[in-house]
DNA sequence: TTGAAATATGTCAAAAGCGACATATTTTTA
DNA sequence: TAAAAATATGTCGCTTTTGACATATTTCAA
């Protein structure tokens, strides 16, 4: 019975995750990419906060606008991985640190 | 004297590397980004070869053209990190494998 | 609270990236 | 070597991403 319950729970959880993916017609590769992008945007936000910078201050360092940085940190669809990673490097994040989030 | 030579050699090598960077007006962050992109493009080429695929065959799997894939593998300026990483995931490369090249 | 600072969202014109096609070059095979 | 296969390069419409600006919403200190 315990075993049975555990299996049900797992199955349910998989169904919930799978439904979004399936509904949007996303492949496993799509999912990995989205997760990667989200993880990087989170690292960007965390990095800025560790450096005690407002979005405005950090945006200036990055030669961009506050609104753009807000979108970067939100993992907005209008933001590329290129921009995210360039921004991280510009804030001084090392390749090693970056590798850790993959 | 030995020490002297070693320093000269290092200084020279730094100057050579630095000159390209300086000539193009690239920041340290720019350099890191370019190196990252190159490393990823190399991984893409290596992955395709390990799977014994021609560029044409791999391009079909990626729903793109042979010419586009050639540019990806060359780290061409017209290719984004997004496209490179999506392609890697589509060829089955894991996040862990990808992290290793950073 | 409430006013100020910080962050988020919407829109736009310009720039960059996209797939596809043609074609050139290099590599492999017979 | 010569032909064939594979890879690289140039170009072009179309789409996406860009920075910038305006403005809305949230957070936080007085």
Q: What are phi and psi of B15, to 5 degrees?
A: -65, -40
Superfamily for domain range B27-99: lambda repressor-like DNA-binding domains (1.10.260.40)
Q: What is the distance, to the nearest Å, from the Cα of residue A54 to the centroid of all Cα atoms in its chain?
A: 19
Query: Would you list the domain boundaries of chain A?
Result: 27-99
DSSP per-residue codes, chain A: -HHHHHHHHHHHHHHHHHHHHHHTT--HHHHHHHHHHHHHHHHHHHHHHHTT--HHHHHHHTTS-HHHHHHHHTT-TT--HHHHHHHHHHTT--HHHHHTT-
B67 touches strand C (CB under 7 A): yes
| Residue A100 with chain B: CB contacts under 8 Å | 99
A58 touches strand D (CB under 7 A): no
Residues of B with CB under 8 A from a CB of A: 27-30, 32-33, 35-36, 80-82, 85-86, 89-90, 95-96, 98-100, 102
Say what the pLDDT of residue A18 is: 56
- Between A10 and B88, the higher pLDDT residue: B88
Q: Do A33 and B85 touch (CB under 8 A)?
A: yes
Identify the closest residue of chain B to A90 by CA–CA distance.
Answer: B29
Contacts of A63 (CB under 8 A, 6+ apart): none
Say what the pLDDT of residue B61 is: 97
pLDDT digit string, tens, across residues A25-52: 789 999 999 999 999 999 999 999 999 9
Structural contact between residues A6 and A37, judged by C-beta atoms closer than 8 angstroms = no
Query: Is 0.75 topped by the overall pTM?
Result: yes
Is A63 a residue whose pLDDT tops 70?
Answer: yes
Structural contact between residues A95 and B31, judged by C-beta atoms closer than 8 angstroms = no
Enumerate residue ranges in chain B where pLDDT < 70: 1-19
| Residue A28 with chain B: CB contacts under 8 Å | 89
Say what the pLDDT of residue A21 is: 74
For chain B, report the end-to-end CA distance as a whole number of angstroms. Answer: 37
């Amino acid at each position: 019975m315990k075993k049975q319950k555990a299996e049900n729970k797992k199955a349910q959880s998989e169904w919930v995750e799978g439904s979004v993916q399936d509904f949007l017609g996303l492949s496993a590769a799509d999912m990995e990419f989205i997760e990667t992008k989200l993880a990087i945007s989170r690292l960007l936000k965390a990095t800025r906060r560790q450096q005690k910078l407002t979005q405005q201050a950090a945006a200036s360092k990055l030669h961009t606008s506050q609104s753009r940085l807000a979108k970067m940190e939100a993992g907005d669809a209008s933001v590329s991985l290129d921009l995210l990673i360039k921004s991280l490097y510009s804030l001084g994040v090392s390749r090693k640190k970056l590798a850790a989030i993959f």
